[in-house]
Structures are given as structure tokens and as C-alpha cells.
Amino acid sequence: MGRTRSRPSKYETAKGRVVDAFATHWSKILQSRKDIALDRACHFLAGSESAQMRLARKFYGREHAKQLATLNADEIEYMLSPWLERVLQHYFEFYEDTATAQKYDFLAELPKAEYVSIVHLHGTGSDIDDSPMVDRYPGDRVAYDDLYERLLSGVSCGGVLRIYKSTGERFSRSEARSVRAGIRRELLWGIADDGDDEVHWEFNMDAEGIWDSPGFEDEDFECVIVVEVHSDSED
């Protein structure tokens, strides 16, 4: 009598959902006849529109798309490792008891954006909240969902922002400079648009290894951009 195969654990099922979504997404990108880079350029974090377009052309270029579309499941899992475990931890903490469709939307949508963002908001003093906010970036589930809204809006005292490529790949030095410029530009736009000029925000644009967050020790800092922002009243 043959052995019965054990069912995959909830963890393995959730991880497989992300991996499958990644594979499907990049297969569609490779097969598409649309100018996806042109359509998505505005979503890249960069200091200028021309820099956004350069990043988009590189990210959605045919050779890059072909490379990603031909990865096997193990290779995809390894590539996504800079953020995958943290995303799954967040998923089981906040989504496990919600409707199946909503849970799977969260997992399946992550690889379809340009970035994954993780935000730790500051608490009192210089403490960092132990429960990070994790999501794709840009997001489209609410009307107002930019970096300012995630990090500085409302009664926020600031926090630590981590930006990963949705592919988990490393940032080149030029890409890292461009992304930092884009983060600063977007935050300043949000501050001005919200009339938040009365608060003086301090920006630490190279916060890798300086602002430690629980569970984020031993990160590969070539795979993540870390920015810390706080109001001068916190000094």
C-alpha cells in the first residue's frame, strides 16, 4: 500500500501562494506587448521623472523579465528571501482569521508592485513599535496610500521605513541613491500637500544598521533601503 502524502502546512501553502503569484506575474510581463515600463514609470522611487523611466526600463526590460519568468519555485523563494519571511509572519498575525479571498489577495498582490514596504512607527521617545506595517508599494486599496500616509500622517512621530524590490534583488549603488532621492521627494510632497509644514521632520536617509528594529538584525543592506524620519520634538 502506497504512503499517503502529507498535506502542506499553512506556512508552506502561504509561501507557495507568493511564489506562484510571482511566477505568473513575470510570465505575463514577458508575454505582454504593452509598454509596461512607460505605464509603470511613475511608480518608481527616484529623484526625477527621467530617473524613474530609467529604472522602469531596466526593471521591465525584456531580458530582465525573461530571467525572472524562467526561475523555478526554489529560485524564486531564494530571490524573495530578503522580505518573504517577514511578510509571512505579518500575514499570519493579521490576516489568518479573515476571509480566504482577502488573505490571498494580500499574498498574491505583493509580487505585482515595484516594491515591498515595511514601516515601524516610532512610539514614545525613540522606541519602535514591534508590529510593523507590511504591504506592497505602491498600493491601490485605498485612495490615499503614499509613503507620507504610511510613515508621517496623522499623529505619527515618524518611524523607520524599509523599501525592498518586489523581486528581492539587490540595489546597485546608483539605484540606491535614486530610491533615497525618490523617498525624500515623495515624503516632502506629502508634507506640503497635507499642510504639515509646522512639524519639522528630520530625515536620516542612510539609516541601515543605525536604527535597529526587532527581527531585522543581520539584514543584507544591499537588498533594502532604510530611512528613518522623526520630528525635532523627539530629539
What single string gives the DSSP state of each residue in 193-217? HTT-TTS-EEEES--TTTS--TT-T
The per-residue pLDDT for range 59-117, each reduced to its tens digit, is 999 999 999 999 999 999 999 999 999 999 888 887 766 554 455 578 889 999 999 99
Looking at residue 126, what is its pLDDT? 42
Q: How far apart are the C-alpha atoms of 47 and 83, rounded to whole Å?
A: 24
- Cross-strand pairs, 161: 119, 227
Cell of 35: 509598454
For 78-131, the DSSP string reads: HHTHHHHHHHHHHHHHHTTTS-HHHHHHHHHHGGGSSEEEEEEEB-STT-B-SS
Return the C-alpha cell found at 222.
544591499
What tens digit of pLDDT does each residue of 3-51 get? 555 556 889 999 999 999 999 999 999 999 999 999 999 999 999 999 9
Query: Distance between CA 32 and CA 193 in Å, rounded?
Result: 36
Closest C-alpha among 162, 157, 151 to residue 208: 162
Written as one letter, the residue type at 170 is: R
Cell of 15: 509561501
The residue with cell 508575454 is 31
Global pTM reads 0.87
pLDDT of residue 214 exceeding 80: no
